[in-house]
């Protein structure tokens, strides 16, 4: 299995994003409110995009056994070329990977797949293909510049996908995924999607003695929102070592061994401000699920983060879930890649 530092590089990129460019003359309360407004604007724009619809693809009605049971290795060079959706009439060799759904039309060092929009946004139509769909226009394109899937008998895997997508020749967004697992519980992964408007969402996980989980939103190289969680221990014995929530230029930190939750504005500790972390119903360590933050400003007034970014909460939760599951890469890109590989090798 090949080794790579791609995940580490991706995480370094997240950490190197600049803080939100908010007027430093603003108070803590004004900064939080302005940053929250920018987060709401960002997620509202994302929610209206074709890229968001792509990330929201689910596995409903798809064939999963063939993909989940895949125990082979694929390099980009083994499947590279330009392919058009054009289902054949031969009987499939493999129950889960139909024969000749795509016809190779030219050589290329990338994997370029032209297909109908219907099949990209609704995987069940691809997995249970109706030959009549061949009359549909191939108006959706996958352009993968990097791809590999390595798997061995010991359950170790190494996966990489870098691709951009267009619909009717308009940019939909770009996806970069890397994961490497030495076992079911030891490994790392990084997934990010960049929208045409310049917004990028990232979710990364590192495991080991200390697990580190990051969810972030940026505009170009500017951080709008970033949640970082560090855990120690294993299974149900895991405990939170550190939690950091960055809302633009405001950082809220809780660390083991420190009695209070600290609030920073532009890196300066706010001695008159405070925060309380609330886990609703049961323990959950992310604002993408049941965690909330109660902020107390210098003037004694309070505000819940969930109220400040309430317009964005639905999209925020959906994106965190979608990035974690990444059904599109599995049920569209991988399904096509495996199908091409099985039919040609």
Cβ 263 vs Cβ 239: under 8 Å: no
| pLDDT at residue number 2 | 45
| pLDDT at residue number 18 | 63
| pLDDT at residue number 154 | 64
| pLDDT at residue number 1 | 46
- Averaged over successive runs of 10 residues, the pLDDT of the chain (345 residues) comes to 48 55 80 97 96 86 56 87 84 58 94 95 84 82 95 77 97 96 82 96 90 95 95 77 96 87 95 90 77 94 96 94 88 89 77
| pLDDT at residue number 147 | 96
| pLDDT at residue number 222 | 94
| pLDDT at residue number 67 | 55
Other Cβ atoms less than 10 A from the Cβ of 152: the count is 12
- Which backbone phi and psi does 289 adopt, to 5 degrees? -135, -95
Tokens of 222: 């500017």
What is the rounded distance in angstroms from the CA atom of residue 154 to the CA atom of residue 75?
Answer: 19
Cβ 293 vs Cβ 275: under 8 Å: yes
What is the rounded distance in angstroms from the CA atom of residue 213 to the CA atom of residue 228?
Answer: 6
Helix (H, G, I), strand (E, B) or coil at 131: helix
| pLDDT at residue number 19 | 61
Given phi > 0 = left and psi -120 to 50 = alpha, else beta, which region is 168?
left
């Amino acid at each position: 299995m090949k080794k790579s530092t791609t995940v580490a590089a991706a995480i370094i990129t997240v950490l190197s994003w600049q803080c939100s460019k908010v007027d430093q003359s603003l108070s803590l309360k004004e900064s939080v409110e302005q940053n929250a407004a920018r987060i709401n604007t960002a997620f509202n724009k994302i929610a209206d995009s074709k890229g968001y619809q792509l990330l929201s693809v689910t596995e409903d009605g798809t064939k999963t056994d063939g993909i989940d049971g895949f125990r082979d290795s694929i390099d980009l060079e083994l499947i590279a070329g330009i392919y058009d959706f054009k289902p054949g009439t031969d009987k499939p060799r493999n129950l889960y990977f139909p024969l000749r759904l795509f016809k190779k039309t030219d050589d290329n060092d990338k994997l370029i797949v032209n297909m109908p929009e219907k099949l990209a946004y609704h995987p069940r139509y691809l997995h249970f293909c109706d030959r009549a769909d061949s009359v549909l226009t191939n108006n959706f394109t996958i352009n993968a510049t990097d791809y590999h899937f390595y798997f061995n008998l010991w359950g170790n895997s190494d996966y990489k996908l870098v691709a951009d997508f267009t619909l009717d020749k308009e940019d939909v967004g770009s996806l970069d995924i890397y994961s490497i697992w030495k076992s079911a519980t030891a490994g790392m992964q990084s997934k990010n999607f960049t929208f045409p408007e310049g917004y990028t969402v990232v979710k990364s996980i590192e495991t080991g003695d200390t697990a580190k989980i990051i969810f972030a939103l940026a505009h170009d190289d500017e951080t709008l929102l970033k949640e970082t969680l560090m855990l120690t221990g294993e299974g149900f014995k895991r405990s939170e070592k550190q939690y950091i929530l960055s809302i633009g230029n405001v950082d809220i930190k809780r660390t083991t061994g420190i009695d209070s939750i600290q609030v920073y504005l532009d890196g300066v500790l706010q001695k008159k401000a405070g925060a309380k972390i609330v886990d609703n119903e049961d323990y959950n360590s992310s604002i993408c699920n049941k965690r909330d933050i109660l902020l107390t400003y210098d003037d004694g007034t309070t505000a819940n983060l969930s109220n400040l970014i309430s317009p964005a909460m639905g999209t925020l939760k959906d994106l965190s879930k979608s990035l974690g599951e990444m059904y599109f890469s599995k049920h569209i890109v991988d399904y096509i890649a495996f199908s091409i590989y099985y039919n040609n090798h």
